[in-house]
Structure 1
Amino acid sequence: MAPVAAYDEIADWYETTFVGERGGNTSLGVDDALRDLLGPVPSGRRDDPCLLVGCGTGAYTDLVRDLGWSPVGVDLSAGMLRHAMARLPVARADAERLPIRDGSVPAATAVMVHTDMPGYPAVLREAARALAPGGVFVHIGVHPCFCGGFADFADPRAVVIRPGYRDSYWTKQSWTNQGLRDKVGAMHRPLPELLHAFLDAGLVLERFAEGGSPTPTMFAARARKPR
């Protein structure tokens, strides 16, 4: 299992070195996927709230706000929220127990965080509970088929997929040369298990996206709570 608030110890490094001044995941197609799958606020409803589950330092706040949404962040790490609070309203909370009343938010996102959450199926159930009927949930994360302890990224021109993809497990084996996963670890779930978690939460999957190279390193999905 992941240590509680594992990012507390590396929050300053994450903000200044890993992410820097802006997102850090542009080359993975994260920004494009978020724009496409979340999209602008429906006409006439500017400043509707969008809940950023696992908001971290708030790196995607400006992008969400540019789409017309009013971002509100939730994260377990007080260290990360220390940076985020200058960017958006935040609350410190476990994503498996969101401090949000039932059916109260029209949109929610989880961007590059699902591997940090061993209980992600419970997080999806909580997001579904908090969403208003017809509300949208956008998931963007590392691609489960090509990123994990089984993936060898030593050659930048090709990724070697070794045995282990079909298993679910927590690991600190680094997937990249960025020095993050060896610090905080990550939960791997194969793609079918991840998609089933959306369905089990009562969400309806609508659209998908991939990004990164030489193999896709980002997988994204938009799901909706039935009306």
Structure 2
Amino acid sequence: MRARYDDIADWYEHDFLAAQQGADLLELARLLADLLGPGSGPCLEIGCGTGANAGRLRALGWTPVGLDISWGMLGHASARMPVTQGDAECLPIADGSLAAVVTVLTHTDMPGYPAVLREVSRVLRPGGVFVHLGVHPCFCGGFADRSDPAAIVINPGYRDTQWTTASWTANGLRDKVGATHLPLPDLLNEFLAAGLVLERFGEGGSPTPVLLGMRTRKE
């Protein structure tokens, strides 16, 4: 995965993000405000990519710190926040040291996401918050044809746990780096298995949600 993102880092920064022209089509700012909320001190962003969310976290009062496995992506992110290269399945962070962790549109990039959730639980202090903003399992994936935004077609495959490069478009990420899919119940159960308490939910994107957001807390 590191190599795949290294190969597309410049395209992602200069073409993919630039094509959005600063628009928040997935309502990330609203979801972060609702699910993470205002705070202070460091907030770790797992899979920070090129650092596109740093400004949104700062607007809420947090000090963003980014972690990503791809040096190519971090080359762009380092201009936006402090960063470190690392594997999210083995975070280079002390137990119980963070009040807040977020991840945005990354879980499909991580076949070992259950291990990532266990690491998040380990590094959060009691009462700490983890916000997951991820591709919506029900409406996105290799099984979902979104070529007509007004009529999403869900083909067979939703119930299968799989990794695939299948995509309805050649202008996005999934045909280039692939994606891992977990059905919604399996994804939610992994949060519980990691010891994270589900607190609040949200969706982003219109007219059919692209994003599923969750606020969880370590007891």
Question: Into which bin does the TM-score normalised by the smaller protein fall?
Answer: over 0.9
Equivalents in 2 of 1:106, 1:71: separation in Å? 12
- Give the 5 Å matches for 1:47-58: 48-58=41-51
2:183 aligns with one of 184, 190, 193 = 190
Deviations 1:45-99 (A, max 9, x none): x3x1100000010000011011111111100000000000111111100000000
Equivalents in 2 of 1:156, 1:163: separation in Å? 19
8 Å CA contact retained: 1:127, 1:137: yes
User: Secondary structure in 1 aligned to 2:213?
Assistant: strand
8 Å CA contact retained: 1:108, 1:138: yes
User: What one-letter code is carried by the residue in structure 1 that aligns with 2:56?
Assistant: L
8 Å CA contact retained: 2:88, 2:119: yes
Q: C-alpha displacement at 1:216, in angstroms?
A: 1.3
Q: Say if 2:24 is the partner of 1:9.
A: no
What is the aligned partner in structure 2 of residue 107 from structure 1?
Answer: 100
User: Secondary structure in 1 aligned to 2:30?
Assistant: helix
Can you give the 5+ residue segments of structure 1 that lack an aligned partner in the other structure? none
What is the aligned partner in structure 2 of residue 212 from structure 1?
Answer: 205
Q: Say if 2:138 is the partner of 1:137.
A: no
Percent identity, please: 63
Q: Say if 2:75 is the partner of 1:77.
A: no
2:154 aligns with one of 161, 168, 172 = 161
TM-score if structure 2 supplies the norm length?
Answer: 0.96
1:35 aligns with one of 33, 36, 42 = 33
Equivalents in 2 of 1:73, 1:114: separation in Å? 16
Q: Say if 2:150 is the partner of 1:152.
A: no
Deviations 1:152-210 (A, max 9, x none): 11223210011110010000011445331100000110000110110000000000001
User: Secondary structure in 2 aligned to 1:174?
Assistant: coil
Q: Say if 2:76 is the partner of 1:86.
A: no
| Residues 139-148 or 18-27, more deviating | 18-27
User: What one-letter code is carried by the residue in structure 1 that aligns with 2:204?
Assistant: G
Query: How many residues end up aligned between the 2 structures?
Result: 219
RMSD: 1.6
